[in-house]
Amino acid sequence: MATSLLDVRPEIAEALRTGRPVVALESTLIAHGLPWPLNLETARAAEKTVRTEGAVPATIAVWRGRPTVGLDETQLEYLAHNLGVRKASRRDLAAAVAQGAYAATTVAATMFLAHRAGIRVFATGGIGGVHHSDGWDVSADLQELARTPVAVVCAGAKSILDLAATLEVLESHAVPVVGYDTDEFPAFYLRGSGLFVGTRVNAPEEAAALLAAHWALDGAGVVLAQPLPPEVALEPKAYRAALAEAEDVAAAEKVSGPDLTPFLLAKLAEITCGRTLTANQALIVINAQLAARVARALAERD
């Protein structure tokens, strides 16, 4: 994608030009991940947290066919309210541009556009991965991590996924999976998965040093995963029972492909009486906070 196709908000362009820390934020959570009004509240909270930590937030989406880095308040509200907003992974960007569409960007598309703009750190809820299925259902997020040099701060991968297979794919593509203050790979709503990360860091400065070394060695993406605080994380046994129920409903209604993840997340919110929504909001905000601290530490190294 030519850089001229990007619409970078002046505040963000100036921050990048002067070496101030910038954190990319994805827009799929606004349009497709959370219900109204929690979606808009969470987007605003993430941006506010980034600013509080001394960095500049850059929520990314496609706006009337223009990949846009840094949404204003009117644009955030439009994505939160409008049911016609597309969900765009990297493969969908050209169509969204050519057709003048409004599109919320996934992890893969946000990583790609952030990199094109010159942003090195991106905060999200959880990455996609390998689904439990008989077919070959693998998120484009993993491929993007293998080729795009952006650090993705997250709560691991979504716990509806095959996490062992997801980690295997990341390993085979030379993507470092780094635990922040943990040796165990977080599982989105759950603090742990029983699977171990490749390495651990305990401070933003340590994370920044690892990222700088990885990119100096021509590495691409990095997963920096931190667990939810215990007070909002779900209890594993109850969560697994809720997930089994949600998967049974999805199978009965023949939900599959790109519709499966949002369906399961919505059904889990219903079954758990909103506890997954509370956890989702919390992890997005704490990941934005950590991303800002890491972006600041990277800027101080430059």
User: For the chain, what are the domain ranges?
Assistant: 3-301
pLDDT of 3 reads: 56
pLDDT of 267 reads: 92
Residue appearing with tokens 């909001």: 281
Report the amino acid identity of residue 187.
A
CATH code, residues 3-301: 3.40.1790.10
Contact yes or no for 60/96 (Cβ under 8 A): no
Q: Using alpha carbons only, give the angle 162, 271, 228 rounded to the nearest 5 degrees.
A: 55
pLDDT of 159 reads: 83
pTM of the model: 0.94
Of 223 and 132, the structure prediction assigns the larger pLDDT to 223
> Could you tell me how many helices (H) and strands (E) the chain has, helices first?
12, 11
Using CA atoms, how far residue 267 sits from 22, 112, 250, 277, 278, in Å, is 34, 30, 9, 11, 14
Active site amino acids? 26, 158
DSSP secondary structure letter of residue 29:
I
pLDDT at 291 over 80: yes
- Can you tell me the mean pLDDT for 252-262? 83
Confidence of residue 1 (pLDDT cuts 50, 70, 90): low
Of 120-124, 247-251, 271-275, the range with the highest mean pLDDT is 120-124
Backbone angles phi and psi of 120, in degrees to 5: -105, -15
pLDDT of 137 reads: 84
Of 217 and 132, the structure prediction assigns the larger pLDDT to 217
- Compute the mean pLDDT over every residue in the chain, rounded to the nearest whole number: 94
- Can you tell me the mean pLDDT for 273-301? 96
Dump pLDDT digits (tens) for 185-199. Answer: 999 999 999 999 999
Confidence of residue 44 (pLDDT cuts 50, 70, 90): very high
pLDDT of 5 reads: 87
pLDDT of 204 reads: 98
pLDDT of 134 reads: 57
Report the amino acid identity of residue 232.
V
